[in-house]
Structure 1
C-alpha cells in the first residue's frame, strides 16, 4: 500500500489484534464489530432488559455526556455495578459506542460482515478438498465474477440516468451526474429529507455564517451548520459527512437557503465519484479479459432493458411502440 495506513479498522475484539493495530497503525481508528458485541452482550448480561439497554447505549447517536448518563442509568437500574464484563466493555467504550465513534470515517461499516461475506463468496469456488494446483484457477474464476459485477455497476453509473424526484432539480441533477448510482441513491434520500428541516436562525460572523436548524414535529432537536461563502465549505454538527462520507439533509437545507446550484466540493468525496478510478493505469485495465468486458456490457444492458420493458408494458401504446423500436434495431 506504499506505506499508506488505513483510516479505519474493524475487528472482532481479539486482544492480540488490538495490540498489533495500536502498534502498527497508531493513526488508524479502531472499532469493535457490533455483531460480535451483540452476541457477547446477550451471552454475558443477566436478562433481556439489560441486554436491550446495552444495545441502546451502543447504537444510539448521542453526545458523550448523554452516553455517560444513559450508561449510569442502565447500571443503576439493573444493579450491574460489579459486573466484570460490563466494566471491561466500559473501558473500551471509545471503540464501540456510537457517541464516541461519530465523526470518524467508517463509511457505514460497523461490523466485520464485509470480510465474512468475502470469505463466504470465495467458499463457493473452493473448499478443504481443493488441491493446490486448482486453487489459483478457482481464485481467478472468483475474481472474474467480481470484476464482472463491478463493471456492470460502472456501466450502469456511466451510461444510464436515474429518475429525479425532488424539487431541487439542479442539485439532484448535479449529484446524478457525478456520483455512482449506489451513492446517488443515498444522497437522493437526504435531498428528499431536506424538506422536513426548518432554518431557525442565521448568525453572520467574519468569514462565515452559522445556521441553526430544527425538524418538523421535533422542535426540541437542534443542529448547527457552519458555512464559509468564500470557498463554499460546510460543516454540520450531526457529523454524518465525516462518518459516512456523503452530505446530510441539514447541509442540503443550507445549500437551498444559500441558493447554490451545485453540491459544494467540500461535501463530495472522490471515492464516490464516477471518475474515482480515472487515474488507474492502462496496464491494469488491459489485464481484464475481453470476454469479461463483454459479459459486463451484456449484464448492464439487460438490467436497463428490463426496466424499459417494465414501464412500456404498463400501457398498450407503450408496448406497441417499444415492440416496433426493438424490431427496428434487430434488423440485419
Structure 2
C-alpha cells in the first residue's frame, strides 16, 4: 500500500465518535468521496438489550442474493427480477461503544472493494448518499399542492441547486416521498383527515363554517364548508347562485358541488363547497339547508342548476321563493345528444330564446310535439316540455339572473379544478384543489380591484355625459355591459308620453320592432329625479340600466345616472362594509412552517445581495453554516399541539 493509503487507513481507525449515528455519517461521507454506497448491517446489544454496543456498516454491494431467488424459474415470477447488486464486497467499518465513556471507536476497517467504484460526479446518485432534507420536503410539498408534476419538481430543484449532483436526491425519491406523505396524511382515514383539518381551521378562524353528516356505520354521507371570506362574499353577491353536481372529482365517485356566483367584476366568486354520497332529494335538501345555516338563512333570489330532478325537488322544498332556471349550457349539450335532425334542433333552440307571450309559446309547443310525433312520456323532448317553465324565455322574463343563462361560471370553475386532476384523487387532495382554485379566484378579484381603483375606462371625447359618468361609477367589467345599452340608444324612439301627478311614463320602441313597446317611468320629488324604472326590467334582472332608460335620461338632459340606476353590487362599493381576506389560509396550520417561509424569503433576498461581493458572500455563508450545523433544526421540535394533527407534520415531512 502507498504511504497515502496507509495514512488514510490510520486516520480512519483512530477516529472516535460521540454516537453510533455520527459513526455512520462519517463512513457515509467517506464512501461518497470514494465512490460507493453503504448500509447498516450486523448489530450487537448489551446484556439488558437497552443499548447497542457494536455496529457493522458495510458496502452496499456486500453479500450475495439469496439462493432461493436465484433458482426460481422465470415463469414462476410475477415480475422481472431486479438487476444483481450484491457481489460479495468485503469493505466495512465496525464501530464499538466504550462502556466507561459511552464513546465509539473503530474496531475494524477494511477498505478493499471487489467492484469498480463510481466517479465523484456519479457517487452522489448512490442510495446512501441520496436524502431529501426537511427544507426540501417542505418545498416539494408546497410545489405538489400547487399542481406541479413530480418530474417538473425535480427540474426546478436541479435548476435551484445548480445541477443534479447538488440536489441530494433523484426523481424516484421525490415520487416515493410524495406517495409516502400522502399515505401518512390520510392514515387516520381520508374523511377523518378532512374533518380534522377543518376542525383545526375553525379553531384558527371562528367564522370558518363546516358541517358533515355520517350514516349509522360512520361513513361520510355529506360535507359542506365555507371560509369566512366566502360567507362575506355571499352577503355581497349572493343574489344569484350557480351550482352543478355533474362532476365527480375523487376516487369515491362522490358528487362535488361548488356553489358559485358573480362578483362586481363579473368574474366567478365562490360561496362554498359540498360533497354528497348520493344524488337524492334528501341529500340535496340537507346540503341546501346547511348552506342556508351557513349564510344566516339568506336565500338566493335566483338559482341556476343542471337538469337533476332530485336537485329541482330540493330547491322547491328548501328555497320555495327563489327563482330557478336550468342551465342553458347543459340543455345545449343534451340537444346534441338526443336530437339528430338539424331542423328539429333549431326549432327546439327557438324555445330557449324566443320572448313571445306564454300563450303563443304553449301553442307552438303543441304543434312542435305533434309534428315530431312525441307521445312517449319517457322521451327527452316530453321531459323537457314538462320542465319548460324552468328554461323557456317567456316563463323567466323579468326575473333576476344578472344576465346569466348557463352554468358557464360553474363550468369555468370546474375547468380549473380539472387541471392536473386525477381519477384516484383522495378527498383531502380534492380539498387542496378547491382551495387552490379559491386562491386563484381571489387573486383575480384583487387584480380587477386594482385596475378599477387606478383607472377609468376609455370614453370618446364626444361621448355623452351619462356615458362618462357610467365609466366612473361602474366597475370596468360592468361598464362594458353598460356600453351595449348606450350603443343601442340610437335605435330608440319615443312613441308617446303619459303624464301623471308625480310621475311621467315615456313609451319607447326600437326602430326594428316598433310593435313592441316599453314604458320608462320617471318619478320626481321636489323637482328632482327620484326613481327611474323600465317595463323591460333589465335593471332589476341584469343589474344594469337598459337602452330605454339611457335614451329617456338623455332627452331629459341628465348628466349623471340617478343612484337607483347604479346597483351597489355593480360598483367598487359592493364590499365596502367589510375588509376582504384575500390570502388563502389553508396551509397556515404550522407555526414552524410559517417561520420557515419568512426566513426562506428573507434569506433569498440576502443571498442575492451578498453574492455580488466576496466579503458579503463569505460573511453570510459563515453565518448560515454556523446556524445549520450549530443546533437541531427547529422543524424537528414540533410542539405538542401540532403533533396531534398528522397533517401538520406529515404533509411537509417536517419534524422527522
Q: What TM-score, normalized by structure 2, do the two folds share?
A: 0.41
Q: Which residue of 2 aligns with 1:18?
A: 312
Change (3 A) 1:206 1:142: same
Change (3 A) 1:94 1:166: farther
Cα separation, 2, equivalents of 1:25 and 1:145? 30
Distance apart, 1:97 and its partner CA: 0.6
Q: Which residue of 1 aligns with 2:215?
A: none
Of residues 578, 600, 607, the one that matches 1:280 is 578
- Aligned pairs for 1:295-306 (under 5 A) are none
Cα separation, 2, equivalents of 1:42 and 1:83? 20
Of residues 51, 62, 65, the one that matches 2:345 is 51
Please, which runs of 5 or more residues in structure 2 have no aligned partner? 1-294, 589-596, 598-656
What is the number of equivalent residue pairs in this alignment?
288
Change (3 A) 1:60 1:217: closer
Q: Which residue of 2 aligns with 1:39?
A: 333
Q: Which residue of 1 aligns with 2:386?
A: 91
Of residues 178, 202, 224, the one that matches 2:497 is 202
Residue deviations 1:10-33 (CA, integer Å, cap 9, x gap): 111111111111111111111111
Of residues 539, 545, 548, the one that matches 1:241 is 539
Change (3 A) 1:214 1:153: same
Cα separation, 1, equivalents of 2:439 and 2:335? 40
Distance apart, 1:237 and its partner CA: 2.3
Q: Secondary structure at the match of 1:52?
A: helix
Q: Which residue of 1 aligns with 2:466?
A: 171
Residue deviations 1:237-293 (CA, integer Å, cap 9, x gap): 2222222111110111111122222212222221110111111236x368789x9xx
Q: Which residue of 2 aligns with 1:265?
A: 563
Residue deviations 1:80-107 (CA, integer Å, cap 9, x gap): 3525343432332211111111111111
Q: Which residue of 2 aligns with 1:82?
A: 375
Cα separation, 1, equivalents of 2:498 and 2:456? 39
Residue deviations 1:84-134 (CA, integer Å, cap 9, x gap): 343432332211111111111111222222212212212225434556666
> Is contact 1:12-1:112 (8 Å) kept?
yes
Q: Secondary structure at the match of 1:110?
A: coil
> Is contact 1:214-1:223 (8 Å) kept?
yes
> Is contact 1:125-1:142 (8 Å) kept?
no
Of residues 170, 184, 192, the one that matches 2:479 is 184
Q: Which has the higher helix share?
A: 1
Q: Which residue of 1 aligns with 2:399?
A: 104
Check if 1:124 corresponds to 2:419: yes
Q: Which has the higher strand share?
A: 2
> Is contact 1:125-1:138 (8 Å) kept?
no
Cα separation, 1, equivalents of 2:520 and 2:434? 48
Q: Which residue of 1 aligns with 2:165?
A: none
Change (3 A) 1:267 1:81: same
Residue deviations 1:34-90 (CA, integer Å, cap 9, x gap): 2222333444457322221111012122222332243244345x2435253434323
Q: Secondary structure at the match of 1:275?
A: helix
- Aligned pairs for 1:212-223 (under 5 A) are 212-223=507-518
> Is contact 2:538-2:546 (8 Å) kept?
yes
Change (3 A) 1:47 1:176: same
Cα separation, 2, equivalents of 1:175 and 1:215? 22
Cα separation, 1, equivalents of 2:523 and 2:424? 61
Structure index of larger Rg = 2
> Is contact 2:358-2:395 (8 Å) kept?
yes
Q: Which has the higher contact order (CA 8 A, sep 6+)?
A: 1
Cα separation, 2, equivalents of 1:123 and 1:79? 39
> Is contact 1:198-1:214 (8 Å) kept?
yes
Change (3 A) 1:137 1:53: closer
> Is contact 1:166-1:192 (8 Å) kept?
no
Change (3 A) 1:192 1:165: farther
Cα separation, 1, equivalents of 2:354 and 2:535? 16
Q: Which residue of 2 aligns with 1:314?
A: none
Of residues 233, 256, 274, the one that matches 2:554 is 256
Cα separation, 2, equivalents of 1:239 and 1:205? 21
Check if 1:9 corresponds to 2:303: yes
RMSD: 2.7
Q: Secondary structure at the match of 1:74?
A: helix
Cα separation, 1, equivalents of 2:434 and 2:369? 49
> Is contact 1:166-1:191 (8 Å) kept?
no
Q: Which residue of 2 aligns with 1:63?
A: 357
> Is contact 2:446-2:582 (8 Å) kept?
no
Cα separation, 2, equivalents of 1:137 and 1:36? 27
Q: Secondary structure at the match of 1:27?
A: coil
Q: Which residue of 1 aligns with 2:112?
A: none
